Chain A
Amino acid sequence: MADVQKIEPDSVFAKAVKEGLLAGALAFGLFFLIVGFRTDQNIRNELVLNQRWGLLAIFVLVAAIGRFLLTAYITPWSEARSKNKRAAVEKEQSAFRKSFPKIGLGLLLIYPFLVILILWAYNGSIMGGLQGSLKYVDNFGIQILIYVMLAWGLNIVVGLAGLLDLGYVAFYAVGAYSYALLSTHFGLSFWLLLPMAGIFAALWGIMLGFPVLRLRGDYLAIVTLAFGEIIRLVLINWTVVTKGTFGISGIAKATLFGIPFTPGPTGFAALLGLPNSGVYYKIFLYYLILLLALLTAWVTIRLRRMPIGRAWEALREDEIACRSLGINTTTTKLTAFATGAMFGGFAGSFFAARQGFVSPESFVFLESAIILAIVVLGGMGSLVGIAIAAAVMIGGTELLRELEFLKRIFGPDFTPELYRMLLFGLAMIVVMVWKPRGFVGNREPSAFLHKRKMVSSEFTKEGHG
């Protein structure tokens, strides 16, 4: 930075001032109406304008000063830094990075007990530890793992087979509603319905896959989006079966080898002589979803080594070459859809068992978008990267619920929850611009000659199938 300024001290500064002013003017134009005025209903339900020039001034100043600092200091600094960095030799992967999957898995396995122990030590009583851990196991552990599993499932379709699916949430919905309906009407148990939900979702995957076999790229994307919307709209409007927007409530919980997680004498806590608490069910659910997610990962890893997995990856790289080598692209595409959908169905039935309530509200397009974003942000095809992306994006937005202290700064009217999705959207943009190839930008090759070299995802094609 220093020498850059020595060469042309005035010009950088002058340029920064000019760009800062321009950014300020631009921000004024952008936010003049939408921030400068706020429309509110008055008592007669008419809209009235409230003026907020102070807030507008803050927006403009932030844009101007931010742009000024960026041009004057941050850009020269980062340029100088990247120049120095380029000289440095590329390092071998560190031991931590190499064994990261194992460390992460170990941490996941002990996570609920770790939380309980920490909270036990913090609160000084076992009950405090148990009750306090509810939030962390449920909101963070289970919530993140559901998305990890969904993203791993979608990864089979998008990351391996290269089929861009914007309606993945439809299969999640199929799984959730199959469990909800079959368990409330026929009283079937979770363990019977879990595989059934997967099979139903897989069948739907094949059914929806058939018509789109000929479509490629963005046409495929829009048709899958349309299917996702169709399933949601049917769930909303077919009120006789699905009860519409009211949803289905009172769905039976899952049991552990027939032992229910109820407070009664036959319940899990009473049988093991433990104090009554809702946390056992949550911990059980945590391990269940962990198991399901690991199953997804295991199947993905195994399938990648099997002919079908090789065919998927060949399809992703070049459909024409794939076809001319005699691979049946129809079955290859359909198996990808079906396998991906099956895991979506598993996750869906788990979701229904966890919530005890399903409604079409949970299966909007936004969910598909979030799952796809996790897959891409994780670096397409890298299981570890996807898990990291899910933890960062979902965990991050869950953390925003906890930011009560912000109320003390911005006043009691401030609700951090409102900003959750705004920040989620901005984070998607920032991460993508900063690291277009996702968090983990390289992956292990499926097939290799002599030596297993990491493949940069720069070389991975996608979404052409």
Chain B
Amino acid sequence: MEYFIQQSINGLTLGSIYGLIAIGYTMVYGIIGMINFAHGDVFMLGAFMAMIVFLALTTFIGGVPVVLALLLMMIVAMLLTGLWSWTIERLAYRPLRGSFRLAPLITAIGMSIALSNFVQVTQGPRNKPIPPLVNGGITIYGTNITVAYKQMVIMFVTVILLAAFWYLVNKTTLGRAQRSCEQDRKMAALLGIDVDKTISMTFVMGAMLAAVAGTLYLMFYGVISFTDGFTPGVKAFTAAVLGGIGSLPGAVVGGLLIGLIEALWSAYFSIDYKDVAAFSILAIVLIFLPSGILGRPEVEKV
């Protein structure tokens, strides 16, 4: 039982990161119905930004308190990754809006290839290890279950961000504009909502969450490489689909589920096949629930 709880905690940590990335996929899909394939690489870019900020801090200033360092890494990574995402949407996706459905998918795949190779060219192909930022953990009284401080940081940041995000989507003008664009873009435009701006902001928000996920990923694993965008990206997308694409709570639930499946599968069965397990469960869930766990069933209009 202790082992199970321990592994579940590990899974939820991983799942939080997937959930944060998955929100970016699901929001973009909800508004413009496009799979933003480059999102995984935006996540990787965010992690690289955080890594460079960390190195700049240690090189130019010296010892910075860990909390401050983490905060700075997150904020700078969020701002710059948001800027990247805004530019990407502007240059590669907006010209194709209203074109047929596969066109933006292909540019997104092209952007994904270009981004990861751009990082490879500018930063070199090797893994980038950083010294551990947060050490230690606590053991829950009377058991052998330990929760590392870095896991607590990940969960804490995720909860805070999700709360802020929930507020943004449900209580602000921007959130209302987003939800209206999701329902009917043309009608929203007729009612005076700046659809282009709303879509841009959606990309920026998704990228910011991905940048935070990247920072947390870097802090947790202590290493990042230019290829690290693909697998977490695909997993997060899997999570978004599993939860029901277009549904924000679904993305979080899906992310946590994928994280749990991965951790428990590696704990009880074979670590080599953990990705196979995640993908198989995706296929099985979709066969029985074709629109995901929390997704609305597609209505066919004739």
Residues of A within 8 A of B (CB): 26, 29-30, 32-35, 37-41, 45-49, 158, 164, 211-212, 214-219, 221-223, 225-227, 229-230, 233-234, 236-237, 320-321, 365-366, 369, 372-373, 376-377, 380, 418-419, 421-422, 424-429, 432-433, 436-437, 458, 460-463
Contacts and interface: CB of A to CB of B under 8 A. Distances in A.
B96 interface: yes
A23 to B, nearest CB: 10
Interface of B: 29, 35, 45, 48-49, 51-53, 55-56, 59, 76, 80, 83-84, 87, 91-92, 95-96, 99-103, 105-107, 109-115, 117-124, 126, 128-131, 230, 234, 237-238, 241, 245, 270, 272-273, 275-276, 279-280, 282-284, 286-287, 290-291, 298, 300, 302
A414 B202 CA distance: 39
Contacts, number: 190
- Quick one: which of B51, B84, B100, B111 has the most chain A CB within 10 A? B100
A34 B99 CA distance: 32
Contact of B59 (A32, A48, A366): A48
Interface of A is mostly: helix
Given A233-B273, A380-B102, A221 B109 contact: no
B87 A229 contact: no
Contacts of A321: 302
Contact of A462 (B45, B100, B113, B237): B100
Contacts of B49: 33-34
A49 B300 CA distance: 55
B124 A40 contact: yes
Contact of A37 (B52, B241, B280, B300): B52
A227 B106 CA distance: 20
A341 to B, nearest CB: 17
Contact of A230 (B56, B118, B276): B276
A234 B279 CA distance: 12
A432 B118 contact: no
Given A26-B87, A30-B83, 11 more contacts: A34-B45, A39-B51, A45-B129, A47-B128, A47-B130, A226-B279, A226-B280, A365-B234, A376-B102, A433-B107, A461-B100
Given A38-B122, A47-B128, A426-B110, A211 B51 contact: no
Contacts of A425: 110-115, 117
A30 B55 contact: no
Contacts of B115: 425
Contacts of A30: 80, 83-84, 87
Contacts of B96: 432-433, 436
Nearest to B282: A226
B287 A214 contact: yes
Given A30-B80, A41-B126, A230-B280, A373 B273 contact: no
A225 B109 contact: no
A211 B128 contact: no
Contacts of B29: 218
Nearest to B275: A233
A29 B99 CA distance: 30
Contact of A26 (B83, B272, B287): B83
Contacts of A223: 282-283, 286
6 contacts: A30-B83, A38-B124, A230-B276, A233-B276, A321-B302, A422-B113
B283 A227 contact: yes
A428 B99 contact: no
